Amino acid sequence: MANSPVIWFDRSPDPALLEFLGGQAEFVWPRSDDPLDGLDTADGVIAGASLTYGQSVLAKAPKLKVVARAGIGFDNVVLTDATSLGIAICNTPDGPTISTAEHALALILSVSKDLNESQGRLRRQEGNYGPQHRAIELDGASLALIGLGRIGSRVAQFAVAMGMRVTAYDPFEAAERFEDLGVERASNLHDAVASAHIVSIHAPLTPETRHLVDAELFSQMQDGVLIVNTARGGLIDDRALLAALNSGKVAGAGLDVTEPEPLPSGHPLLDHQRVVVTPHVASATNEGRKRIFGMALEQILCALGGVKPSHILNPEVWPGRNSERVDT
């Protein structure tokens, strides 16, 4: 495709996705055992979560001008390294919202209705009913949200519609958002989780938030609390979570994200009867993929055309390697 920009995926894309994205660029991806195969030809990158985009990776792409993270989180991109090389970094914060919030709701429903253990009893031929069944009604239950950004707000809307009492902790959101959603604002993390039946996590992973949910925070929750995480695995100390599950402090957990990813065979979270684990697929609906990758492509084409992307994460770099295309 003569004169078209070359855009690199870090893994083989779904053919249906390529068809959806159309002929706006030449798309390449690794076709050998080398995970960076083809990166050296790229003008832009649509980045998943499988690679860390730091100096050692970015330096292998001498033509690279812009990386668009397919999703909200960008903890696998070293912004300082990209900025030093003149590479613009973007994300697609509106892309995963609907699908991820729906997945969080699915996990809330799954753990609150004890579906994993119920299915396990049938598989073990233990009959249709057991006194150990520990389902709860959501109508009237208390939900604590750690984070009230795009996804957390959508989950709040679902929860309020189901009759749940919703409290959230997010020091970065304006009071108006809480009021508009009908959500009580907690002044600190302890107050948010102390009386919650369910805690759902929607925060970014940063050095400050790593293991935000640890043994100390679990100790401040009520016995039998349910935990849901569709944000980043590193937000929870998994050893503390396992201890809380085994003690009964946590009655169940629904996890779309873990640390590490994927969990190795035999990991205790995979085999725990009160844990539902999905492999970081919350945003990966047909509609979600199209929205995310369409937005990522739009950000890249804007940058390559000399237009500052709307969701640039390191604006100080602009125009960087795109300087020859910027109309001055």
- Is there a catalytic annotation at residue 272? no
Taking alpha carbons only, the member of 77, 201, 114, 185 closest to residue 151 is: 201
**280, 289, 291, 311: which is the annotated catalytic residue?**
280
Sequence-ordered list of residues with C-beta below 8 angstroms from that of 120, at least 6 positions apart, any chain: 273
Q: How far apart are CA 114 and CA 133, in angstroms?
A: 7
Per the CB < 8 A criterion, the answer to whether 169 and 220 are in contact is: no
Cβ atoms within 10 Å of 137's Cβ, excluding its own: 12
Which 3-state string (H, E, C) describes 85-145? CCCEEEECCCCCHHHHHHHHHHHHHHHHCCHHHHHHHHHCCCCCCCCCCCCCCCCCCEEEE
Helix and strand counts by DSSP (H, E) for the chain: 12, 12
Exactly one of 69, 202, 232, 274 is catalytic; name it.
Answer: 232
Structure tokens given for 262: 């994927």
H or E element in which residue 225 lies: strand 225-229
Active-site residue 232, yes or no?
yes
Which DSSP symbol is given to 323? G
Q: Is 117 among the catalytic positions? A: no
> Distance between CA 216 and CA 295 in Å, rounded?
39
Pair of tokens at residue 109: 């429903």
Query: Which candidate in 185, 261, 267, 298 is catalytic?
Result: 261
User: Rounded CA gap, 302 and 72, in Å?
Assistant: 18
Q: For residue 146, with 0-12 CB atoms within 10 Å meaning exposed, 13-18 middle and 19 or more buried, which class applies?
A: buried
- Which residues are designated catalytic? 232, 261, 280
